[in-house]
Chains A and B, each alone.
Chain A
Amino acid sequence: MSRSIHILTAVWGAQYVERFLSTTLPTVLSANNLPALCAEREAVYRIYTSREDADLIKRSPLFGELRRHVPVIIESPEIPAAPEEKYSRATNYYRLGLRRSAADGMATVMLTPDAIWSNGSLTRVGQLADQGVRAVLVDGLRAEQDAFMDTFKNAVLPDERGVLTVEARPLMKMAMDAIHPYEAALTWGTDMTHDVPFRLHWPVAGEGILSRGFCIHPLYIDPETEDLDFAGAIDHGLVNSAILDRSKIFYADNSDDFAIVSIDAVGFSGQNLKRFGKRGDLLNAAHWAWASATEQNLEALQFPLRRHFGPMSEAKWKRAERLSARHVAAILSCRKLLVFLFKMEAMGLNCAAALLAFALKAGGLTGWLGDPSPKTLLVPADTAFEKMDSSHWKFLLSPEGAGALRALLMAHTVDGALAPSAAETKFPGIKILDAGIEVEDWIIHVIDSLVQT
């Protein structure tokens, strides 16, 4: 028996309702999307909107078409929304809908109102649900509205009911031809980046982009628990709070399954775009992750998504995957170093903290650890640095000293967990002053002198 499904959309405001009715709903209604999904299972479609927008939706010819496939409920509940939280209204609607799903014993499909969905996306959701998957996470690609719509309107014509059917590869091609500057900025190899690196892309010439993202949208969720305790928007914590068995979480890995495009005007907010340089891009992402990423965000970054508009040359995509994996490792290890850095400072290890900050900002050592796997850091106390010749200290903290600094840091880093006694044996002459301070899955031992390089 297929899992019954509660489909949710939260949409309000003339601009978004118009977009929902003109692009989202017509593509959702393509044969292998909502009609196929609802033909095989019990389903209900609930739209949360404002009272005035509800009338607009009901008057749309597509509303009748929607109701041919699934019972539709339009509700306008009073929703508290914190003005300082941009996504709080949508999140609160989703929370309400998820509670309703739980009460009715249904899984939930959360359809965003401003995306264009490739034909087959929702069929794939149904297949995955039938295979026992409890969460399907997908990521959209933003295209520049005018340029995209110019092509889309000519290439994808509505049928007599107003339904738009677009297959994944042509949709990806149209989106990449009209890429939004924000997405271009998040692509490795362009000379700018967004100061909020919500997703990152690696180009695959002639074929598409490999993407990884912090904030991936849960399209489908069938929680293991009714007690959904998560903070922020649904792409920050919902899935990890709802699904404990991670093997039941499916991250979309190929745009043939899910090609999703959101459209947006170019706009005027170029202030979010910065030039950090390549190494700086990684550090910027690490800094954002340190300050803002949830556990779910960090996990999401591990899953590459191939967005392509034609056949894939496996060797090219593997190459992009390897490069992206190296960058992700650098981002995650630098994020952890930032956690460490402030922990060290809080412990009064000011010299070591400053040295590490220098290495990250000016020493060109963004990827020096290679990976974020568990490590032990031997951190010299400030008194250890006082013993150092001041000219050597200055040399380490100079552009010319980058190599020596790297060697010094590596000499104080050990892969895996190293017990204090083992550390003293491995590094004769050092004395452990404070042992076993855990920071996430890394360990700090404070030592009385520097390890000789």
Chain B
Amino acid sequence: MQKPGASEDLTKAAQLFQSGEREAALEIVENIISSDAGNAAAWQTLGLLMLRSGRANDGIKALRRACTLAPFEPGNYTDLGLAYLEIADYPRAEACLISAQSLGPADANVEKMLAHARHMAGTGNAATGALAKSVDGDAEAHYAKALEFQRLNSVDGVIENLRKVARLLPAFAAAHKSLADFLWHSHGLRALTGAFGALLELKGEDAGIADQAGEAELHYRMALYHDPDLSEANAYFGNLLRRNGKLSEARECYRQAAEMRPANAVTQANFASLLLALGELDEAGKYADLALKLEPGFAEARELQGHILLAQGDGPAAARKYLDTFRFDPKVSSELFT
């Protein structure tokens, strides 16, 4: 819900912009956002004003924010698609325009822009193309169903519906991220029950497990492709990459996540533990200390400090850290790499 008067102010800003008073127009919009950061319409207006001021990258960032805040508003995707066309980023433009087309009534202008984007993108955008297969349905309804399945504790129901949302709205970064989270979670649990079955000689290997992991990776990539500022996607994707042995790519994800989420102890600890694995001990120590400063009762971070000190050759200090570790229970967080 917009704050009262915001809509009139946005109209006024657009008028000021038309009459050449660009700075005044931008100031009005920025004021609205600073008092209400969740105002999607303000972000959309800001994005458009910036684009028209020649600040394409800032404009795109603002329009992305509008899409995140109002993911079922076709106009946001149309504007973002147009912005991508302007900077000749055809694959992203294509994804945005497909999303706009899925949500809105038939619009000849959008169709024309989409045809252009597809033509210019050629076949290079395989990932988006695969996801953008024609799927009948109402993205918002599928999203609502996914939430309902989540309430009912049904992982499969959530995944099935989020897959449809991601196909209908390939530029909806948060949907890709959520889908990847659930796929990765489900993959982990299926791997566990598969291992149990193998130990008991009950059943053969679950062939779908590898597919699920690959699909999760693809959707994390799509999420970050459409919104590199999704900090949680960086954090979780880092975990997936690390588990799959892609340590240097994981390092970059963790680094970005740690930068974007300076107050998140788990993120800092994950980065520290990867740095330890990579032998970057001083850096690892820095992030482990930060994690513990943020959350003094964080048992795993304390143990990590012990491991780092031990790797640095300071066994006595490590021993004191290990002693401390026993005072606390393990941390409960799906974000924690273990």
Interface positions of A (Cβ within 8 A of B): 144, 146, 176-177, 179-181, 183-185, 187, 189-192, 195, 203-209, 265-276, 284, 287, 290-291, 338, 341-342, 345, 353-355, 357-358, 360-362, 393-394, 396-399, 401
* Contact B195 A184, beta carbon cutoff 8 Å: yes
Contact status of A185 and B318, CB under 8 A, knowing A270-B334, A271-B332, A341-B326 = no
Taking CB atoms and an 8 Å cut-off, the chain B residues in 89-130 that contact chain A are none
Q: Which residues of B have CB within 8 Å of A361?
A: 303, 306, 322, 325
Q: How far is the CA of A192 from the CA of B307 in the complex (A)?
A: 20
Contact B192 A358, beta carbon cutoff 8 Å: no
Query: Is there an interface contact between B189 and A270, defined as CB atoms closer than 8 Å?
Result: yes
CA of A393 to CA of B316, assembled, Å: 8
CB pairs A–B below 8 angstroms (22 shown): A176-B202, A181-B192, A183-B196, A184-B196, A187-B199, A189-B199, A203-B199, A205-B201, A265-B152, A267-B153, A269-B334, A270-B188, A270-B334, A290-B326, A353-B323, A357-B320, A357-B322, A357-B325, A362-B310, A396-B315, A399-B310, A401-B315
Closest 9 pairs between A and B when the two form their complex, measured CB to CB: A397-B315, A184-B196, A265-B153, A357-B323, A358-B319, A354-B319, A271-B334, A361-B322, A203-B199
State whether A268 touches B200 (Cβ < 8 A). Answer: no
B309-338 vs A, Cβ < 8 Å mask (1 yes, 0 no): 010010110111011011001101111101
Tell me if B11 counts as interface (CB < 8 A to partner A): no
B330 near A398 with CB under 8 A, answer: no
Q: How many Å from the CB of B182 to the closest CB on chain A? A: 8
Question: Contacts A206-B201, A265-B154, A398-B313: A358 and B195 contacting too (C-beta < 8 A)?
Answer: no
Count of A-B contacts with CB under 8 A? 137
How far, in whole Å, are A354 and B322 apart by their CA atoms in the complex? 7
**Which of these, B155, B203, B316, B336, contacts A354 with CB under 8 Å?**
B316
Residues on B with beta carbons closer than 8 Å to the beta carbon of A191:
192, 195
Asked if B150 lies at the interface with its beta carbon under 8 angstroms from chain A, I say yes
Main secondary structure of the interface of B (DSSP, over half): helix
- Listed residue (A177, A273, A275, A358) with the most chain B CB atoms within 10 angstroms of its CB: A358
A177 and B185 CA atoms in complex are apart in Å by: 20
Q: A265-B153, A273-B192 are in contact. Are A398 and B310 (CB under 8 A)?
A: yes
What would 16 more interface pairs be, CB under 8 Å, given A265-B154, A361-B306?
A179-B197, A184-B192, A184-B193, A190-B192, A203-B199, A203-B200, A205-B200, A265-B153, A267-B155, A269-B334, A271-B334, A272-B332, A273-B338, A284-B330, A357-B323, A394-B316
Closest chain B CB from A382 CB (angstroms) = 12
- B193 cross-chain contacts in A, Cβ below 8 A: 144, 179-181, 184
Within 8 Å CB of B335, what residues of A?
271
Give CA–CA (A187, B195) in the complex, Å.
10
- Bound complex: CA A330 to CA B199 (Å): 23
Which residues from A are CB-within-8-Å of B182?
Answer: 268
A307 CB to closest chain B CB (Å) equals: 11
**Which residue on B lies nearest to A208, using beta carbons?**
B200
- Complex Cα spacing A183 to B197, Å: 12
Residues of B within 8 A of A176 (CB): 196, 200, 202
- How long is the Cα–Cα vector from A398 to B306 in the complex, in angstroms? 12
Contact A190 B155 (CB under 8 A): no
Check B315–A398 contact: CB distance below 8 A: yes
From the candidates B186, B322, B336, name the one contacting A358 in the complex (CB within 8 A): B322
Q: Which of A208, A338, A398 has the most CB of B within 10 A?
A: A398
Q: Which residues of B contact A209 (CB under 8 A)?
A: 200
Query: B186 to chain A: which residues have CB within 8 Å?
Result: 266
Q: A287-B326, A345-B323 are in contact. Are A397 and B192 (CB under 8 A)?
A: no
Question: Whose C-beta in chain B lies nearest to the C-beta of A286?
Answer: B326
| B266 CB, nearest partner CB in chain A, Å | 10
Contact in complex: B155, A268 (CB < 8 Å): yes
**Of A276, A291, A342, A355, which one neighbours B319 at CB under 8 angstroms?**
A355
Q: Residue B185 contacts which of A144, A268, A275, A393 (CB distance < 8 angstroms)?
A: A268
Instruction: List chain B residues, Cβ under 8 A from A208.
Output: 200
Contacts of B201 in A (CB 8 A): 205-206
In angstroms, how far is the closest chain A Cβ from the Cβ of B193? 5
